[in-house]
Amino acid sequence: MKLKYNFVVRNIDGRPVAVAVGKDNAEFNGMIRLNDTGKFIFDLLSVDTTEADIVAGLTDNYEVDKSEAESAVKEFLQKLRDNGLLVE
């Protein structure tokens, strides 16, 4: 799976925000506010990846256990799916 649109992530007032760029901005004209882990997941989703790889990335880079990471990743990915932002 990966992000459906080409996003750029910038910091606005110290918080990461994702904005679709180029022709994708015509289809998704909005911003997505992220936290640091959300930005990390967004970065991983810029190329084709798996849910298991995202969970492994979180447990390797953040102080979180596997079950906590799995739950957070499932919730985050579901929000992206609900908004049509993933290609699977």
What 3-state class would DSSP assign to 20?
Answer: strand
CA angle 21, 62, 14 (to 5 degrees): 45
Q: What is the pLDDT of residue 27?
A: 87
- Does residue 14 register a pLDDT over 90? yes
**CATH code assigned at 46:** 1.10.10
pTM over 0.75: yes
**Burial of 1 from C-beta contacts in 10 A (0-12 / 13-18 / 19+):** middle
- Does residue 26 register a pLDDT over 90? no
How would you list the strands of the sheet with 15-20, edge to edge? 7-12, 15-20, 31-33
What is the domain range of residue 19?
2-87
Percentage of the chain exceeding pLDDT 90: 90
Domain count along the chain: 1
Q: What is the pLDDT of residue 16?
A: 97
